[in-house]
Structure 1
């Protein structure tokens, strides 16, 4: 019996069989609670009004109201809700666009079940989860925008830069603390300072800032 509050999850995909598969994958973890399922964005918001969730696993391609439109509205009305986008397509431009719109993670539909469970845990705890193809897409997009120009933003200390680089490499606060021989609370302090300096609302924004400005 776990003493932690289960992560409340919504599954949004127009394929019932796929949603059922996701539910089975997530039901193996007692820290997960699939609150509801929906076949499109419109159904999702109708349910969300009465059944709050922490994490949404959201398909990109759906009828009536697709994943991109749904993501934008979630970030506008429920910014505290984390969104993991699902798609069949490993497309750099799509990944960059979804992360710019506020997605906390991105998964292909043929991922290993353990990857899906890890993604939900990381997004709920740290606010972001990258697969290698996501990191490559962001770095590629960042290089194109920065054109290798020297960094000219607010002053970032060497320790903050170390923390930022490790965040961009998917390390959790606890793991960063262990690597830098500091406390997790100190890591959180550096992260808040970085967000304040860069004007980033969350970790996703912080990572995008780092990539665009050539810090990583």
Structure 2
């Protein structure tokens, strides 16, 4: 199965280089290139909806932050991989808050782009070591504080979090924990509330950032 990719970057040479790279990858094909968020929306209005959007952060007319938020609000199933030369913590955090499933520095190697897209398709998210380190520092600046204790997580909730970060369905999690799916749903509600997240993807990202599950 081939997954479709839209590339949104105002630098035409960069966009073309990324497109050429993606076209040579197994299981991926470039659907189109857009120069900014407004042009991307135009394609979406024509019902040309990709599986993945490779999204530049700094663009005219409608930048990566605005575009990611629009996608999050209107097409939450479309997976966003942010691409940027900026590795600042605030930029990375804002892109994740606005719906990005991963963040890749443009100086990354081609195999890292392939890995990032594979992870986003299979796991729902991607995080490089450098990005994860930045997020851990920004969200958990005091390594002496135990996030499990600080958040008031129970042993069962902690087990649920660890299993939720794996490629398991909730039915499989219930089987592993020898509990009902209703109880799993209850753990999910409690954990989402305690970690202030609204999806399994954001739960996994935050659990990794805070060191609740190992990187």
Is TM (by shorter chain) over 0.5?
yes
**Which of 193, 204, 207 is the aligned partner of 1:207?**
204
| CA deviation vs aligned residue, 1:161-202 (integer Å, no higher than 9, x gap) | 4435xx3xxxx62xxx8xxxxx99725988x75644323433
Structure 1 runs of 4+ aligned residues shifted over 4 Å read 187-190, 192-195, 211-214
| Cα deviations by residue, 1:63-91 (Å, 9 ceiling, x for unpaired) | 11111111111101111111011111111
Answer yes or no: is 1:36 the counterpart of 2:32: yes
- Show CA shifts across 1:86-131 (max 9, x none): 1111111211221122210001111101111111111122110010
Structure 2 distance, partners of 1:82, 1:188, is 27
Q: Which has the higher contact order (CA 8 A, sep 6+)?
A: 1
Cα distance in 2, alignment partners of residues 103 and 9 from structure 1: 15
Aligned-pair CA distance for 1:57: 0.3
Report the equivalent of 2:150.
Answer: 151
Pairing 1:90–2:120 present: no
For 1:1-216, list aligned pairs within 5 A: 4=1, 6-50=2-46, 51-144=48-141, 148=145, 150-153=149-152, 155-157=154-156, 159-163=159-163, 167=165, 173=167, 186=172, 193=185, 195-199=188-192, 200-210=197-207, 215-216=212-213
1:12-53 superposed Cα distances (whole Å, 9 cap, x missing partner): 000111111111111112310211110000000100222011
Cα gap change, 1:116/1:208 in structure 2, threshold over 3 Å: closer, same or farther?
Answer: closer
Partner of 1:144, secondary structure, is: coil
Report the CA distance shift for 1:143/1:125 in structure 2 as closer, same or farther (over 3 A).
same
Q: Which runs of 5+ in 1 are unaligned?
A: 178-182
Whether contact under 8 Å (2:38, 2:62) holds in the other structure is yes
* TM-score, length of structure 2 as denominator length: 0.79
When the two chains are superposed, the root-mean-square deviation of aligned CA atoms in Å is: 2.8
Following superposition, the deviation at residue 207 of structure 1 comes to 2.9
Query: Number of paired residues?
Result: 197
Gaps of 5+ in 2: 177-183
The structural deviation recorded for 1:208 is 4.4
Secondary structure of 2:141 counterpart:
helix
Question: What secondary structure sits across from 1:140 in the alignment?
Answer: helix
Contact 2:84–2:106 (CA<8 Å) still a contact in 1?
Answer: yes
